[in-house]
């Protein structure tokens, strides 16, 4: 067992970019990766880098559309299926590799991420438009996922606790990997979520075909480089870029896809869930579906709350990474007694946010692409009809051509209005007035989603009510509703927010395992000890 497995797991600490040393180091890393813009990156199938049969596509810098991050391969359906076949071939041996050895690969990978941390941040700032802190938090979360899942794989390898004995039998329930599956990850946490979704099944003996979002393929290719460096056996991890239908949907439909792990929109997630529910010709199992599908998260501010603190946290939760988080606070439900004061403070802080190129570390950078701009601006026009615009509301003027939208606040929105019910996924939040605590919690729960929420109060009885009655997977008291930490705040939501698999929690790896109950009864006249059997010593 590697020495690292004996260490207690702890979260990686974010860098403080107000420290001139860290700021200078990150800027230097940005200049270094910018010199590598425009390179071509290949698919990675069965340990080999290969060109795509369906052409190539470019990844652009959303902060400056004149800059090309890189050129990436368009895999054909046949190449995607070949990757799945190779993953199954690798599974034949990988499933029997010890948990200690699998963890060793992952701990080595985490060390490489640490070594390349500022470089990874720089690619993310350039390709996704994140601020320095948002990018560093993403990279830290990737490290956390790798190490946490490695530790959890070692723990789960001990099997399920057995509480009763039967007639002299030796009973043990062990967890077995389920096979080769598909990981389809989003662009908004382009390194952390891509890494976490790929590493989790691998940690417990499965193999993966990983497809990144088309907007951020460079972040996925970095994990490929890392696994290549640490010598992960060929076929265990396969990296396939390409079309959402040609690669993503066709892989999901394949009868040999054992699991589908997806993070993204509700519409796509529900579509994949239908696919997973259908048993194709030749399919010999029920597909396992693990998905996280977004939210319409609310920050509830009660009459006795600390208004200054609440306003600061609302702005962080609503506009961090331009509100492009499934956990972002897109609704503010404020008690009528403090509504006007809170709205004024939030509007003032929102207007003070600096907007511009992510490489200059502006708080408000670009949104991801033109499709996002069109969707967000359409909702802003809806909001102007449904309520009162108090901040933002238009495209931002910047030095470079990019996808910039002003952080936007609407007031006097009804709980049934579209911008109070539908996920916008951009820098827009809507204020809704509540009569009292009962009304506020009712409104908070009155949406199709149930991912995250925040509640501000100084009254223990009210807080206790919120803890019981606010129906979300991740609830935060007196802080913003974004920023879940691996191992501390397992992440996933209720209702149409997904399967609530709780990424970064102790239950997550079991989605990629099946428990097998085994009973060993000593044979008459046969001389052996339980220690003769490897399974008995796990």
Asked if 350 and 424 sit in the same domain, the reply is: yes
Q: Is the domain of 203 the same as that of 240?
A: yes
Tell me: do 150 and 253 sit in the same domain. Answer: yes
75 located within any domain: yes
Q: Could you tell me the CA-to-CA distances from 158 to 162, 172, 536 in Å, in that order?
A: 11, 10, 10
Residues 133, 43: Cα–Cα separation, whole Å: 30
Per the CB < 8 A criterion, the answer to whether 194 and 274 are in contact is: no
Same domain assignment for residues 289 and 375: no
Phi-psi region of 14 (alpha: psi -120 to 50; beta: other; left: phi over 0): beta
43-45 and 48-50: which strand pairing? antiparallel
User: Assign residue 349 a region: left if phi > 0, alpha if psi is -120 to 50, beta otherwise?
Assistant: alpha
Are the C-beta atoms of residues 42 and 73 closer than 8 Å to each other?
yes
Do residues 244 and 139 both lie within one domain?
yes
The continuous run of DSSP H or E covering 388 comes out as strand 388-391
- In 3-state terms, what secondary structure has residue 285? coil
- Does residue 95 fall inside a structural domain? yes
Q: Do 327 and 381 fall within a single domain?
A: yes
CATH number of the domain residue 454 falls in: 3.40.309.10
- Whether 53 is in a domain gets the answer yes
Residue 291 annotated among the catalytic residues of the structure: no
Query: Is 369 a member of any domain?
Result: yes
Q: Is 326 a catalytic residue?
A: yes
Residues 405 and 376 in one domain: yes
What sign results for the dihedral spanned by CA atoms 413, 417, 419, 423? positive
Q: Which domain holds residue 96?
A: 28-57+68-293+498-515
pLDDT in tens, 412-467: 999 999 999 999 999 999 999 999 999 999 999 999 999 999 999 999 999 999 99
Q: Is residue 396 part of a domain?
A: yes
Catalytic residue of the set 12, 127, 152, 292: 292
Single out the residue of 506, 464, 462 nearest to residue 486, CA to CA: 506
pLDDT in tens, 259-316: 999 999 999 999 999 999 999 999 999 999 999 999 999 999 999 999 999 999 999 9
Q: Is residue 352 part of a domain?
A: yes
Same domain, 319 and 283: no
- pLDDT band of residue 3 (cuts 50, 70, 90) is low
DSSP, res 281: T
What distance in Å separates the CA atoms of residue 371 and residue 403, rounded to the nearest whole number?
Answer: 10
Interval 215-241 mean pLDDT: 98
Are 159 and 33 part of one and the same domain? yes
Does 163 reside within a domain? yes
Residues 332 and 269 in one domain: no
Express each pLDDT in 324-382 by its tens digit. Answer: 999 999 999 999 999 999 999 999 999 999 999 999 999 999 999 999 999 999 999 99
Domains held by the chain: number: 2
Is 12 a domain residue?
no
Same domain, 315 and 279: no
What are the CA-CA distances from residue 320 to residues 130, 411, 455 (Å)?
Answer: 9, 20, 18
Q: Any idea what the CATH number is for the domain that residue 223 is in? A: 3.40.605.10
Handedness of CA 321, 414, 298, 448 (dihedral sign): negative
- Name the active-site residue from 140, 147, 313, 326: 326
> Are 319 and 269 found together in one domain?
no
SS3 503: strand
């Amino acid at each position: 067992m590697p020495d690292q497995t004996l260490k207690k797991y702890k979260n990686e600490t974010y860098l403080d970019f107000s420290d001139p040393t860290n700021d200078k180091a990150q800027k230097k890393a940005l200049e270094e990766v910018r010199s590598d813009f425009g390179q071509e990156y290949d698919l990675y199938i069965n340990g080999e880098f290969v060109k795509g049969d369906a052409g190539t596509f470019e990844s652009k810098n959303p902060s400056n559309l004149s800059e090309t991050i890189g050129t990436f391969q368009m895999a054909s359906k046949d190449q995607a299926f070949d990757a799945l076949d190779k993953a199954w071939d690798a599974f034949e041996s990988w499933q029997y590799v010890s948990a200690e050895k699998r963890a060793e690969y992952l701990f080595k990978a985490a060390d490489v991420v640490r070594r390349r941390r500022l470089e990874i941040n720089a690619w993310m700032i350039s390709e996704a438009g994140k601020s320095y802190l948002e990018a560093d938090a993403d990279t830290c979360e990737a490290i956390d996922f790798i190490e946490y899942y490695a530790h959890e794989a070692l723990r789960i390898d001990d099997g399920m606790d057995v509480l009763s004995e039967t007639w002299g039998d030796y009973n043990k329930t062990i967890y077995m990997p389920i096979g080769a599956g598909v990981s389809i990850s989003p662009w908004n946490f382009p390194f952390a979520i891509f890494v976490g979704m790929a590493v989790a099944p691998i940690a417990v003996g499965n193999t993966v075909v990983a497809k990144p979002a088309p907007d951020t393929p460079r972040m996925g290719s970095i994990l490929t480089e890392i696994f290549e460096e640490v010598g992960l056996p060929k076929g265990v991890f396969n990296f396939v870029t390409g079309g959402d239908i040609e690669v993503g949907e066709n892989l999901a439909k394949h009868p040999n896809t054992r699991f589908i792990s997806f993070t993204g929109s509700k519409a796509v997630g529900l579509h994949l869930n239908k696919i997973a529910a259908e048993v194709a010709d030749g399919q010999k199992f029920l597909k396992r579906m693990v998905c996280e599908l977004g939210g319409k998260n609310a920050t509830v501010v009660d009459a006795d709350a600390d208004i200054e603190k609440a306003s600061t946290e609302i702005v962080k939760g609503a506009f961090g990474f331009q509100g492009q988080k499934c956990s972002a606070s897109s609704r503010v439900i404020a008690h009528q007694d403090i509504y006007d004061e809170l709205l004024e403070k939030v509007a003032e802080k929102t207007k003070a946010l600096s907007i511009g190129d992510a490489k200059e570390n502006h708080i408000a950078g670009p949104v991801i692409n033109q499709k996002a701009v069109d969707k967000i601006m359409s909702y802003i026009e809806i909001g102007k009809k449904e309520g009162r615009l108090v901040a933002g509301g238009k495209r931002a003027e910047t030095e470079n051509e990019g996808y910039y939208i002003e952080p936007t606040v609407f007031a006097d929105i009804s709980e049934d209005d579209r911008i109070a019910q539908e996920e916008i996924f951009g820098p827009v939040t809507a204020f809704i007035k509540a009569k009292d605590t009962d009304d506020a919690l009712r409104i908070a729960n009155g949406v199709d989603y149930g991912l995250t929420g925040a509640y501000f109060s100084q009254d223990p009885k009210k807080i206790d009510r919120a803890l019981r009655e606010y129906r979300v997977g991740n609830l935060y008291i007196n802080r913003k509703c974004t920023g879940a930490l691996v191992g501390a705040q397992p992440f996933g939501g209720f209702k149409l927010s997904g399967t609530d698999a709780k990424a970064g929690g102790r239950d997550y790896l079991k989605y990629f395992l099946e428990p097998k109950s085994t009973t060993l009864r000593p044979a008459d006249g046969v001389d052996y000890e339980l220690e003769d059997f490897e399974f008995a010593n796990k």
